[in-house]
Amino acid sequence: MQKIVTLFFIIFSFCSCNIDSKSKVVSQSEIIITKTDSKIGEWIQLFDGTSTRGWRAYNGDVLPAQWIIKDGALTFSTESKLESDHQGGKDIIYAAEEFENFELFMEWKLPEGGNSGILYHVQEGFAGPAEVAPEYQLLDDLKWEEINNTQLEEWQKTAADYAMHTPDNNQKIVKPAGEWNSSKILFTPELAEHWLNGKKVLSFVPWSKDWEERKAKGKWKDYPKYGTFKKGYICLQDHDSPLWFKNIKIKKLP
């Protein structure tokens, strides 16, 4: 009888250890998903070509089905038989961590007539991220106007701080649809910069008198929360055209 009791105790202890071990693994996994314990100046891979961990829909719980990994790129696919499956509005955020001051880098490409954007300091609970978050505009500058038979303002084109600041066209080189471009955003309260294909194309001082005036008289005059959040998520915008992103990384700045 004593041997049976001893054996039962050993088995019970072994099972308990396994349960505790599994619980710790789950807990650590959740921590990795919800928070990255990164230091200032260290690159954080938001997308490395193999996993969509940390990404989900804006105002949602999961990644929309149209966002997939294809050939190592985070891809928005419109290859669906159902029209309702790929209508615009499936903006996604990197929800594992909010960022304040940062250097953000990524590579991207669009199809002819493609349209997207990179937004930062995004907060949820609004109709869309653009209502509150600054946007680095992504567009097929070379074909969009021709395809849509519409003339655009410079603040609507690639590398613009959308509806706020325009890029220097003497420095701006945007590649044709189907080719990879690279973009970089540096943000601190003292200075924000937009880079395109290795060249700085614009800079501005956030929340300055000039910034406030541009907001008050432009597209965002009726959006009081626009640009007011000083910390938030990184967002990729869907305008219902195929999109490709890769090598998305960020580092915190002081």
Q: What is the CATH number of domain 38-252?
A: 2.60.120.560
Decide if 102 contacts 242 (C-beta within 8 A): no
Residues of the chain under the 50 pLDDT cut: 1-34, 81-83
Q: What is the spatial distance between Cα 64 and Cα 163, in angstroms, rounded to a whole number?
A: 27
Q: Would you give the distance in Å from CA 163 to the centre of its chain?
A: 19
pLDDT at residue 36 in the model: 56
pLDDT in tens, 171-224: 999 999 999 999 999 999 999 999 999 999 999 999 999 999 999 999 999 999
Helices (H) and strands (E) in the chain, counts: 3, 13
pLDDT at residue 210 in the model: 98
Q: Parallel, antiparallel, or unpaired: how do β-strands 92-99 and 55-57 relate?
A: antiparallel
Every domain of the chain and the residues it spans: 1-34, 38-252
* Cβ-Cβ contacts under 8 Å for 105 (sequence gap 6 or more): 182, 183, 184, 247, 248, 249, 250
pLDDT at residue 41 in the model: 87
Alpha helices by DSSP H, listed for 163-245, are 209-217
pLDDT at residue 85 in the model: 54
Decide if 67 contacts 76 (C-beta within 8 A): yes
